[in-house]
Amino acid sequence: MTRRVVDVLSPLLSAPEIPVAAAHQLLAGLDLAPRTSIPAWITDPGLRADILAGFADIPDDLRGSQ
């Protein structure tokens, strides 16, 4: 009995390149990159530092457009 190797590729792997400006936002949404922006309505410096450090997170629907 012989084994046959089959490559399975997703069509997503061959997707066109993502622009750099959008790539960071996509990775941050998946928690694979740090968030670099905080909504202006968050004024507490401690909370702002915690969000940038990754200790606190706010849902994307509360972030608004940035």
pLDDT digits (tens, 9 = 90+) for 15-65: 666 666 677 777 877 778 777 778 888 899 999 888 887 788 777 777 765
Q: Is-contact 49 40, C-beta < 8 A?
A: no
Show Cβ contacts of residue 36 under 8 Å, excluding neighbours closer than 6 positions.
24, 28, 52
The more confidently predicted of residues 39 and 2 is: 39
Q: What is the pLDDT at residue 11?
A: 63
Q: What is the pLDDT at residue 13?
A: 60
- pTM score: 0.47
SS3 60: helix
State residue 58 phi and psi, 5-degree precision: -120, 145
Q: What is the pLDDT at residue 54?
A: 76
Give the whole-angstrom CA distance, residue 17 versus residue 1. Answer: 42
Q: What is the pLDDT at residue 32?
A: 80
The DSSP 8-state label assigned to residue 25 in this structure reads H
